[in-house]
Amino acid sequence: MYYRNPTSLVFQDGDNWWIETSTGRDATIVDVATGKLIAAATAGSGLNSNEFDDITLSQLVDEQILLAEPNTADPRSGYHLATRDHPFLDMSTGIDARITDAEIMAGYVESDEYPPVYLDFDSSETVTLDNAADLATDELRNSPLCQLSLIVSGTFGVRRRQAPYYDPDSGYHQVELLLKSIPSGGGRHPTELFVEILRAPNIIPGQFHYRARTNSLERLPPSFLSPPPLETDGSDADWHLRLYMVSAVRRAMFRYRDPRSFRAILVDAGHADGQLAALAAYCNWNYRSCVTPKMEFLTAQADQDKYGLPLLMSGILEGWS
């Protein structure tokens, strides 16, 4: 019995099938039958050698797409196996490394459309928030809306925008970046926040998106989001909100490409979750979260294919006046 290497990925484009095991190898072209057979196999299901011809089996074994015994697989995760030979740039070498990195980025800009650093939707209503950096202790003590502003703007608000520029003397090319309070690999900040207000003084309940460009909550059409079920226990809080952290994957993909983006996306969401928890505690609000991955978080009317915003984490935020 042979078993599929957990790092192997099977791709199909019409009648063309191929398999990739890491970024350091050329794709293995296979016929339709072999592609379907490998695609249907999981790490725990075996494949008989008589299901392949001798040449195909030898090729799949040599390239470690099929493993003879399940316990011969590398104990490391598929992600680490797939990225172990990815070329990394040593940024500790100084300006030369930065120029090399900028040249790489310039090549990306030439070959791909640079993803927007802002996410905007059409909205019929705006709830303007205060800039977290401008809030004083007295305001936070006396205003729940200021407290909400600190929690949201202090996590996702823009602290500084770096405009794109090009230096013809050095050939240095800088893409547009946003800097926020939380760290983010390469300044990509892929995590976006959606808010479902269940109860709040002077705000009609509904679904909102936090627009970083204007530091505001923008009301979305009804049923714009398709959130996972969360706890529905009664709450006596004056402010009862659900927070949804999604990832604008293309922002990270543009910088880190396939191998490293997954890690950057998860770490980014983790930083946002930690900052929300810290600021909520500072304001004496209650915040709790959980991992709730959902690929189709936006409804069809939100043009899911255009935005591609998978949900990663959800949280419940409660505050008292």
Lowest mean pLDDT among 77-81, 186-190, 226-230, 291-295: 77-81
Lowest mean pLDDT among 87-101, 109-123, 217-231: 87-101
Candidate CATH numbers 3.40.109.10, 3.40.50.150, 3.40.30.10, 2.40.10.10; the one for domain 110-319:
3.40.109.10
Judge whether 301 and 225 are in contact, CB under 8 Å. no
Q: Let me know: does 269 contact 245? Beta carbons within 8 Å.
A: yes
| DSSP-derived secondary structure letter, 133 | G
What are 289-309's pLDDT values in tens digits?
999 999 889 886 555 445 578
- Between 296 and 312, residue with greater pLDDT: 312
* Dist CA 95 CA 51 (whole Å): 55
- What phi-psi label fits residue 171: left (phi over 0), alpha (psi between -120 and 50 degrees) or beta? left
Helix (H, G, I), strand (E, B) or coil at 197: strand
Signed CA dihedral, 45, 49, 51, 55: sign only: positive
Residue 258 has pLDDT above 70, yes or no: no
Q: Which two tokens stand for residue 26?
A: 């050329």
Predicted confidence at residue 80, as pLDDT, reads 60
Identify which of 214, 172, 192, 215 has the alpha carbon closest to the alpha carbon of residue 269: 192
What is the rounded CA–CA span in Å between residue 130 and residue 123?
A: 19
Nearest to 152 by CA among 172, 135, 166: 135
CA distance 268 to 256: 13
- With CA atoms as reference, report the closest residue to 227 among 203, 250, 198: 198
- Give the per-residue pLDDT at 133: 93
- Per-residue pLDDT, averaged over 236-249, amounts to 94
With a pLDDT cut of 70, the percent of the chain lying above it is 86
Average pLDDT of the residues of the chain? 85
Domain boundaries, the chain: 2-79, 110-319
Neighbours of 268 (CB within 10 A): 25
Report the C-alpha gap between 186 and 17 in whole angstroms: 34
Over 80: is that where the pLDDT of 72 sits? no
Largest CA distance in the chain: 77
The tokens describing 184, both together, are: 């983010």
Closest CA to 193 of 233, 139, 242, 249: 242
**Average pLDDT of the residues in 237-246:** 96
For residues 32 and 15, give the distance between their C-alpha atoms in angstroms, rounded to a whole number. 7
- How high is the pLDDT of residue 49? 86
34-43, 47-56, 79-88, 151-160, range with greatest mean pLDDT: 151-160
